[in-house]
Structure 1
Amino acid sequence: MSFHWFKPYAPRSLYARAAIILILPMVVVLLVVAVAFMQRHLEDVTSQMTRTVSREISLISDQMKGADSRQEALARAEPALSALQMQARFLNPGEVPSVGSRRWYDFTAPIVVDKLHQLLPAVTAVSIPNSRRTLVFLETELGPLELAFDPRRLSPAAPHQLIVTMVFFAVLMTSISFLYMRNQLRPITRLADAAQAFGRGRSVPYAPSGAIEVRAAGNAFLDMRARIERQIEQRTMMLSGVSHDLRTPLTRLKLGLSMLPDEDAAPMLKDVDEMQRLLDTFLEFSRGASEGTPEAVDPGTLLRQIVEDARRAGRSVELSECQSNGKVMLRPVAIRRAVENLIGNAVLYGTCAEVSMSLTPKTLRIRVEDDGPGIPPEQRLEAVKPFARLDPARNQNRGSGVGLGLAIVADVARAHGGVLRLGQSERLGGLCADIVISR
């Protein structure tokens, strides 16, 4: 049997699911026990006790038959009334209630009333107003008769006590279970928070705790985090060293070429500058999103500065929408590099760029659109890979890039716990690049 229909309604957090696992069996057990107790025990015992009382009432009614007056009838029934611990009195016709009263929480009263009406046709009403007195109204030859006796003769005393006791201890044990469960789930929550922070480029203090399995997962996470950090550091140091070592011979080449005639040195100087630019690009990619530390930043202010710097550099960039109502934990240097790469691509492959931003309680979205040729949907996954060159899609003849621009942007987005999404601009018709970061 498939339960896929239930998934949209099921809670998503581990704490809520564990709570359902605790509460649902407890509620089912309480319902089953309560129903079984009410139907099998209380109902049977109450029926037997009511049947006995109905015989006693019949005996008293038979002793009153044939009496000429009410006093004589009460006198004949006095011995039986005294022995059965009942009180009797005759009423006027208007004093008899049409419907008997009972307490709302008395589960056995309906059984008593139905049984007395079934066994004694002369009963007109049954009233059980409290736990000290039961009133049965009969229609006799001498008029309405009221019989009063202890309600404990009809049903067990306080039948609701068992249910109240079960509910009380169920709530008590469930509360204790919740406290214990919260202490057991807290280490898992701390591990999830540390992993989420590391996925967003932040390393928060974390010490494994909790059950053996949770401690093992925590130690594995710490080992993995240390290896990743060491690998990133080694990669950055290696590429930085390579870039630094290659700058020296490139500088010597520039000095040597500067002594040659301009017509002979110009092509070679251009090649040297191109090599220098490629080295800078490789170094930028090696640093990725690890440059700088996360801090609370107003993304709107940061984006306005980036657009203003791009305008001063002579690029055609417009800031169309900038909804900002709070701060977000970001690496400003990495975000600046990512947005500048998107703006550079936009003005390189198109004539203008349009930047917008929206900030919601859950996400931050930075969008850069252009009026260029765009990227076909089937090539967008390939476009964000390092060293990918999509000549037909992005008109690579305009520049001499190495295919790291979008890869750097995707790396920055992932380091902030977000993603880079590529699509088609509805406003300009070119590429639409969204950096979406969860808050």
Structure 2
Amino acid sequence: MSFLWLKHYMPRSLYARAVLILLLPVVVLQLVVTVLFLTRHFEDVTQQMTTTVARELRLVLDVVDAAPDRATVGPFVAEALSELAMTVEPVSPTDVPSANLRGFMDFSGRVILAVLPAQVQQLSRIDLTENRRVHVYAESENGPVRVSFDRRRISASNPHQLFVNMIFFGGLVTVIAILYLRNQLRPIKRLASAAEAFGRGRHEPYSPAGALEVRAAGNAFLDMRNRIERQIEQRTLMLSGVSHDLRTPLTRMRLSLSMLDEEERAALEQDVDDMQGMLDAFLNFVKGAGEGDPEPIEPHSFVAGIVEDARRAGRDVTLMPPEGDGEGTVQLNGLAMRRALDNLISNAVRYGAMAEVSVMLTEKTLRVRVEDDGPGIPEHRRAEATRPFTRLDASRNQDRGGGVGLGLAIATDIARAHGGVLRLSTSDRLGGLRADIVIAR
């Protein structure tokens, strides 16, 4: 039998699941103990006590039948059976209840109403509504009578005290266990927070704590983070050094080209400009989302400023009306996000004639979309297009300037650093590439 359907009803967080694992056995155990106690103790004990009282009631009713007249029934029974501590008084037929009476929470009363009439045939009604007294109505030779006696003689005390104790001590143990559990889960939450921050490009202080297994996982995370940071630092130093060292010969080449005739130097200057653009792309790829810190940014005005800068640079870019019903700011790295959107817009106008930019903000998500009317990217090559130094010459227009295949890779890294994703698809309106940066708020 499959229990996969239970996943839809299980809590998502580790803390909630741990609390459920803790509470479920306690609740089930209390229910089992309660049911067993009620059936084995209260019902069995009450049945035995009711049988004893039934014999006494038969004796009392025999004495009632032997009374000389109806008026002397009470004193006659009190004199003959004073040791039983039962009071008997004649009643009129209208005083007899129309049905047996029992309180809603009177668990043992159910057993009394089932056992007592079966053993005393003269009984007509039983009244158990009073907490301390039982009133039994019976038919006798002297007419209907009411026999009253102490409730403790016929049933064990109701289990209210047991329930109160079980609930109190069960709740106390649960609270203590939850507090202990929260202390045990706190190191796991700190580890998850540090890992999430590192995935977003932030270095959050972290020291392993908690149980041995959690400490081992924390130490492994620290080792992994240190190795990744060393690799990033080495890559940054290498590419920065290469890019910096190449700027000097490029400057000398520009000075040398300026001495040539205009017709001769035009093509060579274009090559130098392409090389300069490649160096700038290398530096942007190295920087990634490492510059600046996240800050609250209003996305609509932020993207509008980027689009306006692109229009001033001569690019055919249109800002579409805002979408979604979200308001407020989003935590973004302004420099990195500007670099990502500028790369997407540059690719759009390079490989197409125009580009459209739109922003959708909801309570949970920010989506920035850049669309163009170019040839697009085939679906089977979109994953490849986001890798560094990948140029899809067969599917992209190269007539408007070459590239080094880092534009989409930079945007992908920046989106991941914000805890988001870059999604590539086909534009329904323009027919070219549609690039979405989706970030959770």
Scaled by the length of structure 1, the TM-score of the pair is 0.95
> Which position in structure 1 is the counterpart of 2:94?
94
Separation (CA, whole Å) in 2 of partners of 1:434 and 1:347: 16
What pairs with 1:109-148 in structure 2 (closer than 5 Å)?
109-148=109-148
What pairs with 1:39-438 in structure 2 (closer than 5 Å)?
39-322=39-322, 325-438=327-440
Report the CA distance shift for 1:80/1:430 in structure 2 as closer, same or farther (over 3 A): farther
Q: Provide Cα deviations, 1:192-230, integer angstroms capped at 9, x if missing partner.
A: 112112211222233332223223322332332233223
Q: Provide Cα deviations, 1:378-404, integer angstroms capped at 9, x if missing partner.
A: 111111111222223222344311211
Per mean C-alpha deviation after superposition, the further-off stretch among 59-68 and 103-112 is 59-68
Separation (CA, whole Å) in 1 of partners of 2:402 and 2:259: 27
Q: Is the 8 A contact 1:106 1:160 kept in 2?
A: no
Runs of at least 5 residues in structure 1 that lack an aligned partner in the other structure: none
> How big is the alpha-carbon RMSD for the aligned residues of Structure 1 and Structure 2?
1.8
SS of the aligned residue for 1:402 comes to coil
Per mean C-alpha deviation after superposition, the further-off stretch among 144-153 and 125-134 is 125-134
Q: How big is the shift at 1:72?
A: 4.4
Separation (CA, whole Å) in 2 of partners of 1:171 and 1:185: 20
Identity %: 58
The alignment status of 1:24 with 2:24, answered yes or no, reads yes
Q: Is the 8 A contact 1:316 1:347 kept in 2?
A: yes
Separation (CA, whole Å) in 2 of partners of 1:118 and 1:164: 33
Q: Which amino acid aligns with 2:375?
A: P
SS of the aligned residue for 1:16 comes to helix
Q: How big is the shift at 1:50?
A: 0.3
Q: How big is the shift at 1:310?
A: 0.7
SS of the aligned residue for 1:289 comes to coil
Q: Which amino acid aligns with 2:294?
A: P
Separation (CA, whole Å) in 1 of partners of 2:375 and 2:141: 107
Q: Provide Cα deviations, 1:233-272, integer angstroms capped at 9, x if missing partner.
A: 2221221111111111122222223333333333333222
SS of the aligned residue for 1:108 comes to helix
Q: Is the 8 A contact 2:73 2:89 kept in 1?
A: no
Q: Which amino acid aligns with 1:40?
A: R
SS of the aligned residue for 1:292 comes to coil
Q: Is the 8 A contact 2:369 2:435 kept in 1?
A: yes
Separation (CA, whole Å) in 2 of partners of 1:260 and 1:343: 35
> Which position in structure 2 is the counterpart of 1:4?
4
Q: How big is the shift at 1:79?
A: 4.0
Q: Is the 8 A contact 1:418 1:435 kept in 2?
A: yes
Q: Which amino acid aligns with 1:35?
A: V
Alignment size in residue pairs: 439
SS of the aligned residue for 2:322 comes to strand
SS of the aligned residue for 1:361 comes to coil
SS of the aligned residue for 1:113 comes to helix
SS of the aligned residue for 1:426 comes to coil
Q: Is the 8 A contact 1:390 1:396 kept in 2?
A: no
Q: How big is the shift at 1:321?
A: 2.7
Q: Is the 8 A contact 2:327 2:363 kept in 1?
A: no
SS of the aligned residue for 2:290 comes to coil
Q: Is the 8 A contact 2:200 2:416 kept in 1?
A: yes
Q: Is the 8 A contact 2:340 2:411 kept in 1?
A: yes
Q: Provide Cα deviations, 1:163-204, integer angstroms capped at 9, x if missing partner.
A: 221122111111111111112112211221121122112222
Separation (CA, whole Å) in 2 of partners of 1:187 and 1:72: 82
Report the CA distance shift for 1:430/1:81 in structure 2 as closer, same or farther (over 3 A): farther
Q: Is the 8 A contact 1:81 1:87 kept in 2?
A: no
Per mean C-alpha deviation after superposition, the further-off stretch among 253-262 and 46-55 is 253-262
SS of the aligned residue for 1:396 comes to coil
Scaled by the length of structure 2, the TM-score of the pair is 0.95
Separation (CA, whole Å) in 2 of partners of 1:338 and 1:397: 23
Separation (CA, whole Å) in 1 of partners of 2:154 and 2:145: 19
Separation (CA, whole Å) in 2 of partners of 1:75 and 1:289: 101
Q: How big is the shift at 1:80?
A: 4.7
Separation (CA, whole Å) in 1 of partners of 2:418 and 2:300: 17
Q: Is the 8 A contact 1:296 1:327 kept in 2?
A: yes
Runs of at least 5 residues in structure 2 that lack an aligned partner in the other structure: none
